[in-house]
Structure 1
Amino acid sequence: MQLSTAPYEERLTAPRSWWVVSFLIGVSFALILLPFGTLPLLGGLVGGTAAAAVVASSYGSVRIRVVGGSLIAGEAKVPVTALGEAEVLEPEEARAWRTYKADTRAFLLLRAYIPRALKVEVTDPEDPTPYLYLSTREPERLAEAIKAAREAAAQGL
Structure 2
Amino acid sequence: MGQAGTNGPGGRRWRVIATAGMALLAGNGAAAAQGNEAVYGVWSNAKGTLHVQTAACGEKLCGSVVWATDKAKTDSLKGGVTHLVGTQLLQEYRRTGTNSWAGRVFVPDMGRTFSSRIQRLPSGELKISGCLVGGLICKSQTWHRVP
Q: TM-score, normalised by structure 2?
A: 0.33
Structure (1/2) with the larger strand percentage: 2
Report 1 or 2 for greater relative contact order, CA contacts < 8 Å, sequence distance ≥ 6. Answer: 1
Structure (1/2) with the larger helix percentage: 1
